[in-house]
Chains A and B, each alone.
Chain A
Amino acid sequence: MIERIGRRTVDAVKAVGRFGHFVSDLGRALPDVATWGGLTVVQMRRVGVDSLPVALFIAAFTGVVLALQASYTFTGTVPLYFVGTLVGKTMMLELGPVLAGLALAGRVGASMAAELGTMKVTEQVDALETLAYDPQSFLVIPRVLAGTLMFPVIVALAILVGIATGWLASLVLLDLSTQEFVKGLKLFYRFKDTWFGLFKSATFGCTITLVGCMVGLGTRGGAEGVGRSTTRAVVYSAVLLLVLDAFWALVLLR
């Protein structure tokens, strides 16, 4: 038992050390703009195209459900225009970034871990090195930058879609007028609601892609190793994303 705890502790410390080493390698590769510059644009397109449908789909249904649940909670106690407040605040501050982030951890993080893991076990990463490319410049920086820059864009669109479907649900299902919904939406709105959600999603994007790349490049073994890395990337990303979510709430909302 004690031995197992000791082993786990050593493994955890090693993992933190590997992460630190990985991030410092990333910093060292940053000046190599000639390599990662063009590739980042390609990755931004890929991350955007891959992620947008699933993020918008989730946001659309979340908006409807939020409106209906708010109405269920408020009826008879709180004026119904607060439905707009709840839909807007919740989408911007929490559900937009977090639900999209979790969905994208599965979509983007897993796909990066599988792609880089396959490259690793088929010696494509070694081949890059022998061609005098730094895998950090060629593979990691473009993906991490793409995730960091594109996630806020995707989440912004998801928030808009969520609010729009919440508004439609209020009009059609709750007999709320547009004026009432917008009144609720504006009621406690602060600009911080917008930047907080988008800033948070940028950190989610950075974390998900960083974890996907690190786990992918650490792959050992054949197809089984790639499968293990893919699962690991999704689990680690999802856990870190929720920890980060709590961290930013603690730091920025108090």
Chain B
Amino acid sequence: MIQFADLYKAFDGKPVLAGVTLDVHDGETMVIIGYSGSGKSVALKHVVGLLHPDAGDVIVDGRPVAALDRAGLYGLRREIGFVFQFAALFDSMSVADNVALGLRRRGLAEDEIAERIREALALVDLTGAEERMPAELSGGMRKRVGIARAIALRPRYLLYDEPTTGLDPVTSAVMDQLMVRTREHLGVTGIVVTHDMRSAYTVGDRIAMLYEGRIRQVGPVAEIQQTGDPVVRQFIEGRPA
């Protein structure tokens, strides 16, 4: 279980998160929606300790992330897969080496690493792309390699930062299917940060809207679709103010 417990974060004195409180239950996919710059990615990065909160904390399976020492933090990160907005693939490494990097860190044998790479790339429909370099891939393919890199670790949690941003509608739909398939295949708990409502409805069990640094509303997809909150309504319908 991942709990955001009254999380505060400001950059250069400007508050971005102002008391985020949210529980993500085991086995569910929580989608966090919100306007660009509302702090969705900032909240997500606190889960893996990439950012340190000004106050409050994120608690993963009872472990307060900000209070963990370095060894504890790396131990936690071994249980979490993170898919970055622009994939964040290592330019100098092939697709296979990108996927293998985290596995080597875990000390797996080379034959098991090869098997996991094959399996992960098959799951994201990229069989045969092992030797290609990131520069040779399209945006959608890069994001799929990013997912393969995360799922090859067989994590307990998968965090997606804007997985469909910058993709055409068809490729976005493919990414959505992929996230659903990944969850069914691995049974992981997921947090998806997005402002793409079609994607949110497809992959989410529950949706939380982050607005002005706090969770404005959280609930199952159907409940959010029927919301009477004018701010949430305006966002999900994409109406200008």
- List the interface of chain A (C-beta within 8 A of B): 28, 118-119, 122-124, 126-127, 129-134
Contact = CB atoms under 8 A, between A and B. Distances in A.
Contacts of B45: 126
Given A124-B90, A127-B84, 12 more contacts: A28-B70, A122-B88, A123-B86, A123-B88, A124-B88, A129-B48, A129-B50, A130-B50, A131-B77, A132-B78, A132-B105, A134-B70
B102 interface: yes
B101 interface: yes
B82 interface: yes
Contacts, number: 49
Give the interface SS of chain A, mostly helix, strand, loop or mixed: helix
A231 to B, nearest CB: 22
A131 B81 CA distance: 8
Contacts of B84: 123, 126-127
Interface in B92-115: 101-102, 105-106
Q: How many interface residues does chain B have, given as a range?
A: 20 to 34
A132 B73 CA distance: 8
Contact of A132 (B85, B89, B90, B102): B102
Nearest to B78: A132
B101 A131 contact: yes
5 contacts: A122-B86, A123-B84, A129-B77, A130-B48, A132-B78
A131 B79 CA distance: 10
Interface centre among A127, A129, A133 (most CB of B within 10 A): A127
B207 interface: no
A132 B49 CA distance: 11
Contact of B77 (A118, A124, A132): A132
B35 interface: no
B46 to A, nearest CB: 12
Contacts of A118: 91
A130 B105 contact: no
B32 interface: no
Contact of A130 (B77, B90, B106): B77
B74 A127 contact: no
Contacts of B88: 122-124, 126-127
A122 B142 CA distance: 13
B80 interface: yes
Nearest to B81: A130
State the 10 A-B residue pairs at the shortest beta-carbon distance, nearest first. Answer: A131-B102, A127-B88, A123-B88, A130-B82, A132-B74, A132-B77, A123-B84, A124-B88, A132-B105, A126-B50
